[in-house]
């Protein structure tokens, strides 16, 4: 079961995987993968990220194999 995660931890995971932050609109940042084929919009304006978004983020990180 996936639990909510601190926003800082999710941002660290994206950076460690080589993703780069793109446009920020409001409390959402668009992240681009190293291969250039995948993007993910992370709601990083809050202290925690909900389990559903964490699950989708993990799927996006897994899809990009550099």
| pLDDT surpasses 70 at 66 | no
The answer to whether residues 10 and 57 touch, using CB atoms and an 8 Å cutoff, is yes
Residues 9-64 have pLDDT tens digits of: 999 999 999 999 999 999 999 999 999 899 999 998 989 999 999 999 999 999 88
Q: Which CATH architecture has domain 5-63?
A: 2-Layer Sandwich (3.30)
Can you give the residue ranges of every domain in the chain?
5-63
C-alpha torsion sign, points 42, 46, 48, 49: negative
| pLDDT surpasses 80 at 65 | no
Lookup: tokens for 60: 């996006």
The three-state secondary structure class of 55 is helix
């Amino acid at each position: 079961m996936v639990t909510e995660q601190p926003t800082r931890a999710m941002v660290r995971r994206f950076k460690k995987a080589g993703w780069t932050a793109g446009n920020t609109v409001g409390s959402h940042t668009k992240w681009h993968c190293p291969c250039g084929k995948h993007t993910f919009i992370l709601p990083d304006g809050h202290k925690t990220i909900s389990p559903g978004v964490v699950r989708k983020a993990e799927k996006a990180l897994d899809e990009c194999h550099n």
